[in-house]
A = this chain, B = another copy of it.
Amino acid sequence: MAVKENPRPGGRSARVQASVHKAVREQLAEMSRAEVTIPLIAARAGVTPSTIYRRWGDLQALLADVAVERLRPDMQPVDAGSGQADLQAWAEQYAEEMSSGPGREMIRDVLAAQAGANACKCCEYTRQQIVVIADRAKARGGAFPDVDLVMDQLVAPIMYRILFGDVPEASRVRDLVARVMNTAG
């Protein structure tokens, strides 16, 4: 995979990336995924197709790169007053966003790329949100379960249901939150 990480902000590489990402988002808003091609994206971004091939490798890798950027959380988890309430609010929003049409499409793009780097990044974004909630709970003096346990027992079941079954119901999400919070004693 030829995706360059962290280009120098404002540098030529960063500007190419921003322009290509923007072109992909615009194309996806205007046409179905099956119609999107690298030449179309290149024309819109004002770069040559070979610039895109050199940097991203193929269309699927580029779509995954754009999807993972959109999956990056744009806010801190809401402060709802306690660890359990924070986790509850976060989990409800996560389940809702990820099971929406655009959410499912982004997950599909991230998972469809052969290299797993973007999927890991996506998982790491989620983990960081849980870390914020855990740190806040501890700062308040409350007990909070191990972050890996929250990933295994709350995040994983929500994502599994979205991918393999149906929408995770709100009541099920509440049960999962209560169950994992219980382990913190």
Q: Interface on A for B, CB 8 Å cutoff? A: 108, 111-112, 116, 119-120, 122-123, 151-153, 155-157, 159-161, 163-166, 176
Contacts and interface: CB of A to CB of B under 8 A. Distances in A.
9 contacts: A108-B111, A108-B112, A111-B112, A122-B164, A123-B160, A123-B165, A151-B157, A151-B160, A159-B163
Within the oligomer, what is the number of copies of this chain?
Answer: 2
A108 B60 CA distance: 13
A157 B163 contact: no
A94 to B, nearest CB: 13
B152 A157 contact: yes
Name the residue in A119, A120, A153 with the highest tally of chain B Cβ atoms < 10 Å from its Cβ. A153
B163 A155 contact: no
Contacts of A155: 160
A108 B115 CA distance: 12
